[in-house]
Structures are given as structure tokens and as C-alpha cells.
Structure 1
Amino acid sequence: MATTAHRAATGAESGALRLGASLMALAGLAFIGYAVIFFARNFTGAFLELGIGPAEVDVGRPQIRAFSPDLYEYISHLHIAVSGFIAATGLATAALAWFGVRHGLWWAYVTAVAVPVLALAVALPAHYPYGLATLGHLGLIYLATAVFAVGALVALKPMLQVRRT
């Protein structure tokens, strides 16, 4: 339950808190947008993820399906599942930022930061050894992450001020 101390930020601090939380929430919505793109590509001729083309994977939807219909269905189900987890991460991040961080709640701030950090810490490293870390593939995620990090840093100072009161 929020106490008065959680909401006792000065005008400048509460403005910074609102700005930081808004940027964090915007980044969460951007994660959802990326998930929608990821999901839609599964059902189009593109099939492979955004930014992944012949330079990274030398076959496409028809060749994968021809090689193994079961493998094709497996990859498709992974696309759907991963897009769901990306969207869920985005929703959790946006909601925590908008409804918790904006009101100076530390548990919401810590959780809003931990959720995408955990997701990215697990997902990103696997892209590099296989040559899948293209700007076309990860650029939107990098952009959303940068917006999120700026928001988290902007919100941090007023969060610390509220904590001290």
C-alpha cells in the first residue's frame, strides 16, 4: 500500500518521475509492437523474424516446409510462443511503469526494471554467436531498450528522493 511518503515528491521531482515512468511505459508498448511484428511475420511469406534474411538463414518458408513439415510447424509454434512472451514482457513493463513507478512505488520500479533485463539477458546473447544480431533484427529492441533505460534513469533520482523522505 502506498504511503504519503511515496507521493511526496516536489513538483520537479514528480515531473521527472512522470517523464521517466512514461518513457518506461512507452518502451513497454514498443516491446508489444515488436511482438506483433514477430507474430505477423510467422503467418506471411516472410516467415523468418524481422531482419533475418538470406545472409543469416539460407532457406525460407517453402524450403523449410519442403524439408520437414514437422520442423516448419515447430518453428512456427516457437514464433507464436516467443511473440507472446515478448508481448507479455512489454505489457508487464508498461503497466508497472504507468501504475506503479509513476506513483513512486519502489517495488514497481524494481520489478519494471527486472522484467525486461531478465528477458534481454536470456534472449540477446544467443543472437551473437550465430550471426543473428543484425541491426534489422535487433534494432527496434535496442531502440526500445534505450528509451526504457533513459526512462529508468530519469525516474531513479525522484524515486531515491521519495525514499529518503
Structure 2
Amino acid sequence: MKTIGVVGAGQMGSGIAQVCAQAGFSVIMNDIKDEFVNRGMDNINKNLDRQVKKEKITLEEKNEIIGRIKTSIQIEDFVPADFMIEAVIENENLKKDIFAKLDNICRKEVVLATNTSSIPITRIGAATKRPDKVIGMHFMNPVPVMKLVEIIKGVATSHETLTITKDLAER
């Protein structure tokens, strides 16, 4: 697994993109407007600047992390993603619409994870042709500080999907 796609560049999405890039993954962070992805990158830069100031990372490491994050406003840019994490607002219809689009864009082996805290994974998975590859990955806020991810299976989520997701969360 090399590339993580993150749908949503708000507080949660940008935090998820940051921790994935810090773990060494290439990241595609997407939102519906340039201003949203730019704001997300600003948040990431500020978070990393604080880490540099506290001497937790070097300036060179910060630049490497930033260099691993590509931004996009086109959902089609997720074609190369090896794992997807959706982190948009808690709106079931919006999430289902995004998952249906990702289902058509992403390779069939790609896991589609949602950062939902309240919507049943089974209902989101039903919007796809791969409910066995749909899982919940609920990150705690603020993502770069909280080292905790709740993993939630749907009724159809496969053991393989659970294992892949657990392995990713542990990185």
C-alpha cells in the first residue's frame, strides 16, 4: 500500500491526510473547492510548524511530509489510491453518494473507509458493489495528537478488510 486517498479537507480530513503522510504514505487530499483544500493544507502546515518548533520533527522532515500530499478537487484523481478514507460532514446521503462514486472510480481491491461516528457502516456499504470492502475508521480529534482510531465493521465487511484497516491504523 503506497497511496491513501482522503475525501474531505476539513479539520478531520486534513488531520487524517497529515498522519498518513507522516507515516510515509503518498496522500491525495480532495474536497469540492480549491479554497477548502488550501485551508486544509494551511492547517497541516501550521500543525507541522508546531512540531518543528517543539523539535519533534525537523524542517526537512516537515517538507518531506508536505511533499507527500497532493490536493485535488476532482474525485477522479483517486484512481491511483490503494486505500480510501472519507471524512466529510455527517450526512448519510452525501456519504452514500461519495461511496457510490468511489466504488466506480477505485480499483476493486481498494478498501473504502468512512470516518463516521454515527452512521451505520452497513448502510454506507449498501451504496457500493463492494460492501465487503467498506469499513468504519473513526479518528479522534485532533487527529495528529490523538493516537486512537476506532475501527467499525459492517455486516458484510470481510475479515481481510478488517486486517488491512487494522494494519494501516497501527502505522
Q: TM-score, normalised by structure 2?
A: 0.24
More strand by share: 2
Relative contact order, higher structure (CA 8 A, sep 6+): 1
Q: TM-score, normalised by structure 1?
A: 0.25
